[in-house]
Amino acid sequence: MSRPHPLSAMKEWEWSQAWEQQQEIVDRLHAKRGSWLPNVVEKRPWGAVRWTSGRPAHAATSGQAVPETFAVLRPGLNDQPLRARVAEALAQPGPMFQVVGIGLRRHQLAPAIAGAAVGAVLLVVLALVIGLGAIGAVIGALVGLAGGGVGGAALGQYLFERDRDAVLKEGERVRVVTGRYAPTSWSRLVDATTGLETAATAAADDQTANAVQTALWEAAGLLLRSSDHTGVEVLADGMERLAQAHRGISGGR
C-alpha cells in the first residue's frame, strides 16, 4: 500500500498497520456506510490529522482516505498532555459490538449498564408500590432495563462529545480546520510542511519547526476568521520556497 496522501507523513508500514486495525473492526461488525467509518489519527509535530474514508470495506486495501480534520497547536506550546488530549479527541472509536444493529462504543457501555440497572430497580419498586404484583414487576424490570440502557448510552455519548468539543473548540491553544472545506492553498501549505518533516535532514532544525508551526497556526486562523484565502496562499508560497531550499541543501550534501 502506498502512502495515503501527500499530506501524510506516515511511513508505508505505519499506514498499512493502522488501516488494518481499522479494517478488523469493520469486518467484525460487518459495518456499512454510515454506521461507522474507519479512521486513523496521525500525530504531527504541529498537531494532528484525522484520516477517514467513506468506503469502509475498501479503505484498508486501497489507502484511499482523506484528511478529514486538522488540529493545529499554538506555536511555542509545549503541553504534552494537551497533545495527547487533542489526538484522543480527534479519534472516532469504533463500536465494541452491535445491539439490534446499533453500535455500542466503549464510552457508552458503562453508562448503559448503570442506566439499565437503575432503571430496572426503579420500575420494579414502582410496580410493587402501586400494587401491580409480580407480573407488573417483571414488565417494569424489562422496560427499565431497555429505557435505562438507552438513556445511559445517550448520556455517555453526550459526555464524550462535550469533553471532545471542550478540547477541539478551545480556540486559544487549538485551531481546527475541516479538510473537506479547506481551500487548495491549505493543502499546498500542509504538503510543503510534510515534505520538510519527512526530509529527515540536519537542515530540519528547530527554526524550521517553528516556522512550520507558525505558518499553520496563522493559516488556520485566517481560514476560521475570513473567507479571503489570500493570506493562506502567501503562507503556502513561502513554505513551498522553504521546502525547496531544504531539498537543495539536502541534495548538496
User: What average pLDDT values come out for the chain (253 residues) when binned by 10 residues?
Assistant: 69 84 77 67 93 63 76 88 91 75 76 89 88 86 89 88 87 90 92 79 66 92 88 90 72 52
User: Are both 243 and 178 inside the same structural domain?
Assistant: yes
Burial class (CB in 10 A: 0-12, 13-18, 19+), 92: middle
* Domain assignment present for 189: yes
Question: Other C-beta atoms within 10 Å of 210: how many?
Answer: 12
User: Are both 187 and 236 inside the same structural domain?
Assistant: yes
Choosing from 163, 189, 208, the residue where a domain stops is 163
* Domain assignment present for 3: no
* Domain assignment present for 2: no
* Domain assignment present for 7: no
Cα(125)–Cα(140) distance, rounded to whole angstroms? Answer: 9
User: Are both 124 and 239 inside the same structural domain?
Assistant: no
Cα(186)–Cα(155) distance, rounded to whole angstroms? Answer: 37
* Domain assignment present for 125: yes
User: Are both 158 and 180 inside the same structural domain?
Assistant: no
Element (H, E) at 150: helix 133-168
User: Are both 31 and 153 inside the same structural domain?
Assistant: no
Choosing from 116, 141, 163, the residue where a domain stops is 163
Cα(168)–Cα(143) distance, rounded to whole angstroms? Answer: 37
Overall domain count for the chain:
2
pLDDT at position 111, please?
84
User: Are both 146 and 195 inside the same structural domain?
Assistant: no
Cα(142)–Cα(155) distance, rounded to whole angstroms? Answer: 20
User: Are both 60 and 107 inside the same structural domain?
Assistant: no
User: Are both 72 and 116 inside the same structural domain?
Assistant: no
* Domain assignment present for 211: yes
**Of the candidates 165, 145, 164, 142, the residue with the CA atom closest to the CA atom of residue 153:** 145
User: Are both 232 and 116 inside the same structural domain?
Assistant: no
Which residues touch 24 (CB under 8 Å, ≥6 apart)?
none
* Domain assignment present for 43: yes
**Of the candidates 7, 11, 100, 83, the residue with the CA atom closest to the CA atom of residue 51:** 7
User: Are both 137 and 207 inside the same structural domain?
Assistant: no
3-state class of 132 per DSSP?
coil
User: Are both 116 and 150 inside the same structural domain?
Assistant: yes
C-alpha cell at position 201: 535532514
pLDDT at position 202, please?
46
pLDDT at position 36, please?
72
Give the Å distances, CA to CA, from 75 to 165, 213, 216.
Answer: 21, 6, 9
* Domain assignment present for 168: no
By residue range, what is the domain housing residue 108?
97-163
Which residues touch 103 (CB under 8 Å, ≥6 apart)?
29, 31, 35, 36, 94, 95, 97
**Of the candidates 10, 54, 7, the residue with the CA atom closest to the CA atom of residue 186:** 7
pLDDT at position 215, please?
92
User: Are both 153 and 29 inside the same structural domain?
Assistant: no
